[in-house]
Structure 1
């Protein structure tokens, strides 16, 4: 071997470190499993055997998402224990919106230099998210990409697959005039609108200044700004699967990027318009704080943020009260926030 021979580690990629990390998290990942999982992590792919006897005509439902620039807040504060929950929530709530039960989840974690302590905290959050959603963490990819990310930062992406009976797919086609809209409370900002929030509070590349801003206690929040911004996205799977077993739900909107303005119209059928009454629920204080400090118009707030409603259901007027009560029994904050009227496929917030 020549004296000046090059090793991959010298280029910034430590394969041995990556292998040790996989071994380290194997026992952790086993916590998020299901009986249908065949084998463990470390193979070229994950195996999941669907019990076809449980279904008449099963349809697989898949979704992919990330956490946006919320990961920048985690990086500034070096707090990584909840961002994995967000990652799972964004995808499992999306496939839940079509009536699907999440079966398994895969993650992609990339950073400039593998920091096993930080990565393990992220994986712990992902495992917790999978436990909350009742799905398996089937596998993933941890990539080391030197020179690609600023120091201390990473990128996250998640992929969820679920199953629903073909005749129970929820796509909004059965929404009709007279239906009611039930809003299920969120847990703050969830994982959308963080570029707006960082602009409003002046959280930029000056890490020291950003940490000071995020560390400031805000009385109306009862915590620091950073603690508020890192509250994990709520996972609605277990409470919603109970509702879907007992009741007919005509439409489900996961209120993510685009807010109510962008997401509720996506599920409306032709000739249906959504009317939402903003005085029927109490939005958490963070939204009013952002709006006031940033001088953000009402219309823009409802285009960017969930405004305290993480998921909206469209149900028949006859079952609306009973469904709301069932959600409350399951620990959700739920209110009847609107109704469907005749009109264009749009939403009006009054």
Structure 2
């Protein structure tokens, strides 16, 4: 089964993106755009939790959506050297789910405290006939604290582990698995609904010269690494995949599709010329990390022998 079979056509999504890009201005990074105000680069960035909320509601874990809503934005902006400083949310619910919105805000409160981000406001809408469930979106204001550097041929790619699929691919996951089944002896509600790991702690490592560039592995999977590499390519070997990722492949998702949709256990990929020092510092910060590849002169990305871009 492919993502398109679950109702998500990535080619059509690219067409929408192409239309939107014609409207954009300001400075452009790998994930964010910014404007200069005085001596500061300021960015606004928006992202949401997507259809993960369907399972979160059913599992009684909708607070996770509030955490994830901020985490996915933080993980994007940090790739361009920005620190999120404030957030606003948009929560749309169908009638009867008003209490769920309040629980989402609890999760957002915990995430903002963890990342030292101020909640400035938001919008909660009850939308009969438009929303069937709950949609959770956050927008962050971020300030630049570091400037990524261009990668070079021969640089290393360090992968930092994810907690699961994070907040991507759930339209497909919900067709592959039932919420009440187990993956390697662990209930789906546990293995696939963990909160997104926040990678905000890596920001000082840009300033220390340990990180040249970064790619948040989200929608589009490992194709996102091209945002960090530009015209260069990379060859990656992930090693032992986490159990949930192996289960996705066993369910019949082709490898080329899996690596374009899911993070397969790697939440963020970091380009460096000091791999040992970077891995050590990441572990000091509480992350699990390892070298997963090298930067190549050619422009393609290959993961575990599968070309994804």
Please state which band the TM-score falls in when normalised by the shorter chain. 0.7 to 0.9
1:248 CA displacement? 4.4
Give distance in 2, aligned partners of 1:244 and 1:94. 15
Q: Does 1:105 align with 2:99?
A: no
Equivalent runs, 1:140-155 vs 2, <5 Å? 140-150=122-132, 153-155=133-135
Q: Does 1:347 align with 2:301?
A: yes
**1:278 corresponds to:** 238
1:330 CA displacement? 0.9
Give distance in 2, aligned partners of 1:336 and 1:125. 32
Structure 2: runs of 5+ lacking an equivalent: 1-36
Verify the 8 A CA contact 2:215 2:228 in the aligned structure 1. yes
Structure 1: runs of 5+ lacking an equivalent: 1-54, 202-212
**2:30 corresponds to:** none
Structure 2 counterpart of 1:310, from 222, 242, 267: 267
Give distance in 2, aligned partners of 1:255 and 1:132. 21
CA RMSD of the aligned region, Å?
2.0
1:88 is paired with a residue whose SS is helix
1:199 CA displacement? 1.8
Give distance in 2, aligned partners of 1:320 and 1:60. 30
2:212 is paired with a residue whose SS is strand
Give distance in 2, aligned partners of 1:146 and 1:224. 32
Verify the 8 A CA contact 2:93 2:101 in the aligned structure 1. no
Distance 1:83 1:217, change over 3 A: same
Give distance in 2, aligned partners of 1:56 and 1:179. 35
Verify the 8 A CA contact 1:59 1:164 in the aligned structure 2. yes
Of residues 240-249 and 305-314 in structure 1, the stretch that sits farther from structure 2 once superposed is: 240-249
Structure whose alpha-carbon radius of gyration is higher? 1
Q: Deviations over 1:289-316 (max 9, x none)?
A: 12102x1121111011001000011112
Equivalent runs, 1:77-156 vs 2, <5 Å? 77-113=59-95, 115-150=97-132, 153-156=133-136
1:72 CA displacement? 1.1
Q: Does 1:237 align with 2:173?
A: no
Verify the 8 A CA contact 1:277 1:337 in the aligned structure 2. yes
1:169 CA displacement? 2.6
Give distance in 2, aligned partners of 1:138 and 1:230. 27
How many residues end up aligned between the 2 structures? Answer: 269
Give distance in 2, aligned partners of 1:287 and 1:303. 13
Give distance in 2, aligned partners of 1:78 and 1:146. 22
Q: Deviations over 1:75-120 (max 9, x none)?
A: 2334312111111111111111101111111110011226443222
Give distance in 2, aligned partners of 1:286 and 1:275. 23
Of residues 246-255 and 182-191 in structure 1, the stretch that sits farther from structure 2 once superposed is: 246-255
**1:186 corresponds to:** 162
Q: TM-score normalised to the size of structure 2?
A: 0.82
Structure 1 counterpart of 2:245, from 280, 287, 290: 287
Of residues 190-199 and 69-78 in structure 1, the stretch that sits farther from structure 2 once superposed is: 69-78
Verify the 8 A CA contact 1:182 1:312 in the aligned structure 2. yes
Distance 1:56 1:181, change over 3 A: farther
Structure 1 counterpart of 2:139, from 159, 175, 189: 159
Give distance in 2, aligned partners of 1:56 and 1:335. 39
Q: Deviations over 1:34-76 (max 9, x none)?
A: xxxxxxxxxxxxxxxxxxxxx9932012211111110111223
Structure 2 counterpart of 1:214, from 161, 166, 179: 179
Equivalent runs, 1:30-69 vs 2, <5 Å? 57-69=39-51
Verify the 8 A CA contact 1:61 1:163 in the aligned structure 2. yes
Structure 1 ranges of 4+ moved more than 4 A: none
Give distance in 2, aligned partners of 1:143 and 1:57. 37
